[in-house]
Chain A
Amino acid sequence: MELEQIKAIIAMMKENDLSEFSMEQDGLKIRIKRGPEGFQQTVSVPPPAAVPVIVAPSAPTAGVSASPTEAASAQAAAVASDAEIKYITSPMVGTFYRGPSPDAPPYVEVGKQVDEETVVCIIEAMKVMSEIKSEIRGFITEVLVENGKPVEFGQKLFEVRTK
């Protein structure tokens, strides 16, 4: 659900003088209450790791409507910070490889769940192949380096979304 859609719902509620709106769709539940104190919004996202739409990057400030209440933005913001972006960075200088050998499949792809011990790539230096562990718990949202390219110390290799 996009911010625009929520705005549209709120506008519709105002227009039609509705005091409560709730909806369930694709594993997402949303309930908006309109009362004397202004809008309140509860958003709940079910436990399995579905994509939490409300906290999509496009709405980081979580301003839900034209006149968001403190509570609404605070709640939305709270949901936003639950899912953090972290990066797996290179601990050495060398050449980055997605998999253990040229014909083997990559260790990880976008969407793959990783924990601290998961091997995510190989960095080769001086003919020695070092397996690089994730050290972050979450799932891969982006692969930031091309297979076979050189990497330096501290360079971001993978974007990981934690929960």
Chain B
Amino acid sequence: MFDKILVANRGEIAVRVIRACKELGIRTLAVYSQADADSLHVQLADESICIGPGPSAESYLKIDRIISAAEVGDVEAIHPGYGFLAENAHFAEVCENCNIKFIGPPSAAIRAMGDKVAARETMRKAGVPIVPGSEGAVDSEADALKVAHRIGYPVIIKAAGGGGGCGMRAAHNDPSLVKAFHTARSEAERAFANPAVYIEKLIDNTHHIEFQILADRKGKVVHLGERDCSLQRRHQKLLEESPSPILTSDLRKKMGKAAIKAAESVKYVNAGTVEMLLDATGCFYFIEMNTRIQVEHPVTEEVTGIDIVKEQIRLAAGEELGYDQKNIEFQKAAVECRINAEDPFNNFQPCPGRIDFLYTPGGLGVRIDTHVYSGYVIPPTYDSMIAKLICYARDRRTAMDRMARALDEFMIRGVSTTIPLHKLILKDPNFRRGRYSTAFIDRLLAASQPLVPAAKTEEQTLKTQAA
């Protein structure tokens, strides 16, 4: 087992990793930017080293400084968290070359799944269903049109170099396809330094279902069940739950097996997530694999009782899984709301600033993963997620009632947050019945316009009361 780990990340995930390390008796070294000097992860770690000014490109993405810090701090392993360098195959390689264990999959697996076009081909060969689409990257307008006519509109153009919604454009006809092709290429170039794009059939009104997998170095792979992440806005997840309200146990078995096959096909080790789309006819398709721990991992932790970050550390230290698929129990229903410092009724405008007052909900079945505290100043330099609220119970209905109750208690004063939007979601009868798809959030936002004055007034009243 490791003696000391460097946490190459910030915010709530850095806090999460440090917590797991403390429980395992592992010493922690935090790295931070000058903008994060007062951050919680710096205060919780045993040691900390400043690695640069605020902007990520000059700090959290600086491979040389992170490796220097690892050497100066004499660590044996680096946990990359999510985002930043977590899916950077080159960084994983540098760690390997410097004899520092990268807590994640081998760099070859990151590469195999990081190239989305190559990943599709690997899945096709392994017999994992993929979305009908182009065979490889699409290099010209003419090719794009050919593919679109073969698979039929609507289609979606995606970047080969990465995910996260960047370089993604839908098209419903020839003229919009040509436009989308060029826009997607330039966006992909900017985001991933790689303009290559591919095309898939756009399957609308779907459920985005992802499977959490764990794999050890001996080749044993298990899945920890699915998470339904259909509630998204602009391809950014807002809320996740497990189990998915629409999966039958038969589908779960089939999709779980496919997820395991996907991981095995790239000789995966450590924690990862296989993302799939489930359409209205019950057909499912692989879309991509995330070769890292994910934001929404707590949902699976509360359902199965398994500490995924500890498993990551154990597996990286060379330990075997120690259990089989049949040993994994799905004991609870869980749901997570991502709380962002954004104004959901003002086009989700980011609201950095000082948190004047913070009250976090509690009670049975309530978990908060956050790095913020009363008086903390949210810097404008990074993403806007400030907390994750996770509620769990024996059944979905109780978990949702609990989430609604917890959201009511949650107070964050000084900045606008997406808590009011989550309250609206929890009140929606279709959501409560488990009847929703990837189109749900846009519809809810459009329909909630008449409710906006009411919600705003409540916020304004609170603001004047607090002033």
Contact = CB atoms under 8 A, between A and B. Distances in A.
A126 B64 CA distance: 8
A150 interface: yes
B243 interface: no
Contacts of B448: none
A155 B69 CA distance: 13
Contact of A93 (B34, B53, B72, B98): B72
Interface string A116-130: 000000000110000
Contacts of A153: 34, 49-53, 59, 65
B150 to A, nearest CB: 51
Given A94-B72, A95-B72, A152 B51 contact: yes
B49 A152 contact: yes
Contacts of B51: 93, 152-153
B68 A154 contact: no
Interface centre among A93, A126, A152, A154 (most CB of B within 10 A): A93
A50 B68 CA distance: 41
Contacts of A92: 64-65, 68
Interface residues of B, number: 16
B50 A154 contact: yes
A92 B63 CA distance: 12
Main secondary structure of the interface of A (DSSP, over half): loop
Interface string A144-162: 0000001011110000000
A155 B50 contact: yes
B50 A152 contact: yes
Interface string B57-76: 00100001101110111000
Contacts of A95: 72
Contact of A126 (B49, B53, B67, B73): B67
A150 B47 CA distance: 12
A150 B68 CA distance: 10
Interface string A59-81: 00000000000000000000000
A125 B50 contact: no
B10 to A, nearest CB: 14
Nearest to B59: A153
A150 B65 contact: no
Contact of A125 (B34, B59, B71): B71
User: Which 7 pairs from chain A and chain B are nearest by CB?
Assistant: A125-B68, A93-B68, A152-B50, A150-B72, A152-B49, A153-B50, A93-B65
9 contacts: A93-B49, A93-B51, A93-B69, A126-B68, A152-B49, A152-B51, A153-B34, A154-B50, A154-B52
